[in-house]
């Protein structure tokens, strides 16, 4: 070290110069000697003065050498730091969904833009929650987020007003009765199949729009199992903005006004994702009876077309739930006779039944019910029925003014609407991760 170098230099110069100058009495001529001599006035011989002068001379030389060594060490240290800094990994570039500029992966605490939107991760809108999830660089435990450069904010989080989920055009128009209003439940969807003989489109199952490109329905509506074998007649179209199957356009008289819906929207399925746990026909029940149907983006949202909200994790079914769809009904038997499905969108309010009580009821029928199910109904002539499979079981939240998708119609007894026997629905709250994961992969 520099200190050791100085100490060693002093030891060498002191001993050698002391031997050389021990017999010399010539007065020193340089400024250093004057200083040492003035010191010598307080005592000591000429040889002592020579030794003192030599010590000072060589000490100065040693200090100069040490200073040079220190400079070299500092320079080398600086170079070392610089070299090491170059070997550190550079910030990774990343992609921010819906934003043209490239982002950079940074720790969450260092991204001001993410701090602003962190509270939005509990939003009810699928698109917003998925946006936040898509920002993580790698796994969550790595703690890095895709952050805009130069302190900018995320552009994708600026949602227009009409992106709200679960909202109906005129809430005061929701009233009792079997027939839904023309703009009620604008997220309900029809799954249509083609008749093999007539080639006409026929109603097959219901569904619910949850984003611009995804509809939720029952797995048994689209396939027998997740492996892709024993597929039923394929779904030809997903229809939205439908009200009356036999009229186009759909209109309704409201007072002295004629209220007409916008033209129906038909989309071919681009991809159908069946829950991997669904295996129909292997047990006397449908477990994991859920399917995601991907479609081309729908038009901008209006009073006649809007997604329903997915439930929050802590949300529990309320006392009463609502089902809407085009399933089998006796409502029109006096006018058009008995038909397999209702031509007009229907609705029914059903009491929620605890799954444990529901389990006891179906146990007598040798059918298994568990926590992945939601049960509702059990009142005479009030139930979802044949053709209602895949239809949404909904809950209205007066706090937010929004409707939430609590379940998807799965199964029930053959003669629906029987006292004491509720219908069974797939519990959406237990499948949120699966739904979001598959939407993100699209």
Instruction: Tell me the C-alpha to C-alpha distance, in Å, between residue 220 and each of 236, 268, 306, 410, 436.
Output: 15, 18, 25, 8, 21
In sequence order, which ranges of 41-143 are alpha helices (DSSP H)? 46-87, 112-117, 126-134
The conformation of residue 184, written as its DSSP 8-state character, comes to: S
Q: How far is the C-alpha of 232 from the C-alpha of 196, rounded, in Å? A: 12
The conformation of residue 136, written as its DSSP 8-state character, comes to: B
Report helix, strand or coil for 208.
strand
Report helix, strand or coil for 357.
helix
Q: How far is the C-alpha of 403 from the C-alpha of 185, rounded, in Å? A: 9
Half-sphere exposure of 361 (CA within 13 A, CB side): 19
Closest CA to 96 of 45, 131, 46: 131
Q: How far is the C-alpha of 156 from the C-alpha of 92, rounded, in Å? A: 21
8 Å CB contact between 94 and 146: yes
Q: Which residues contact 241 (CB under 8 A, 6 or more apart)?
A: 186, 261, 262, 263, 264, 265, 304, 305
Closest CA to 310 of 435, 133, 441, 174: 435
8 Å CB contact between 64 and 76: no
Q: How far is the C-alpha of 110 from the C-alpha of 105, rounded, in Å? A: 10
* Residue 72 token pair: 């070299």
Instruction: Tell me the C-alpha to C-alpha distance, in Å, between residue 223 and each of 205, 217, 278, 433.
Output: 12, 11, 10, 22
Active site amino acids: 220, 289, 389
8 Å CB contact between 238 and 214: no
Element (H, E) at 37: helix 31-40
């Amino acid at each position: 070290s520099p200190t050791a170098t100085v100490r060693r230099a002093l030891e060498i110069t002191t001993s050698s110069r002391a031997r050389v100058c021990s017999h010399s009495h010539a007065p020193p001529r340089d400024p250093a000697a004057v200083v040492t001599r003035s010191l010598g006035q307080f005592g000591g011989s000429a040889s002592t003065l020579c030794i003192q002068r030599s010590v000072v001379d060589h000490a100065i030389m040693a200090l100069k050498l040490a200073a040079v060594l220190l400079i070299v060490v500092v320079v080398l240290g600086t170079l070392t730091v610089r070299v090491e800094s170059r070997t550190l990994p550079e910030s990774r570039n990343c992609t921010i969904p819906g934003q043209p500029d490239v982002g950079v992966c940074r720790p969450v605490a260092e991204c001001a833009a993410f701090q602003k939107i962190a509270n939005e991760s509990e939003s009810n809108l699928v698109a917003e929650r998925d946006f936040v999830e898509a920002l993580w660089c790698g796994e969550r435990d790595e703690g890095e987020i895709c952050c805009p450069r130069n302190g900018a904010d995320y552009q994708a989080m600026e949602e227009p007003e009409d992106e709200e989920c679960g909202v109906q055009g005129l809430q005061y128009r929701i009233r009792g009765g079997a027939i839904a209003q023309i703009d009620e439940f604008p997220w309900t969807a029809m799954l249509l199949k083609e008749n093999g003989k007539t080639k006409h489109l026929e109603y097959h199952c219901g569904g619910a729009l949850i984003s611009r490109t995804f509809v939720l329905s029952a797995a048994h509506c689209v396939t027998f199992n997740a492996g892709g074998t024993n597929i039923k007649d394929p779904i030809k179209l997903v229809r939205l903005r439908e009200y009356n199957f036999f009229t186009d356009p759909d209109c309704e008289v409201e007072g002295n006004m004629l209220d007409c819906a916008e033209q129906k929207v038909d989309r071919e399925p681009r991809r159908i994702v069946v829950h991997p746990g669904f295996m129909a026909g292997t047990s006397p029940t449908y477990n994991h009876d859920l399917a995601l149907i991907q479609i081309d983006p729908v038009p901008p949202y209006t009073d006649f077309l809007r997604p329903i909200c997915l439930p929050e994790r802590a949300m529990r079914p309320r006392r009463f739930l609502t089902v809407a769809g085009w399933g089998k009904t006796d409502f029109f038997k006096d006018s058009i006779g008995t038909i397999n499905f209702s031509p007009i969108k229907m609705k029914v309010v059903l009491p929620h039944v605890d799954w444990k009580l529901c389990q006891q009821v179906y146990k007598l029928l040798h059918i298994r019910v568990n926590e992945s199910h939601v049960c509702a109904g059990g009142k005479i002539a009030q139930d979802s029925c044949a053709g209602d499979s895949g239809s949404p079981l909904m809950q209205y939240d007066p706090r937010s003014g929004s409707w939430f998708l609590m379940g998807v119609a799965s199964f029930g007894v053959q003669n629906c609407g029987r006292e004491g026997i509720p219908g069974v629905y797939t519990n959406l709250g237990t499948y949120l991760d699966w739904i979001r994961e598959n939407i993100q992969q699209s």
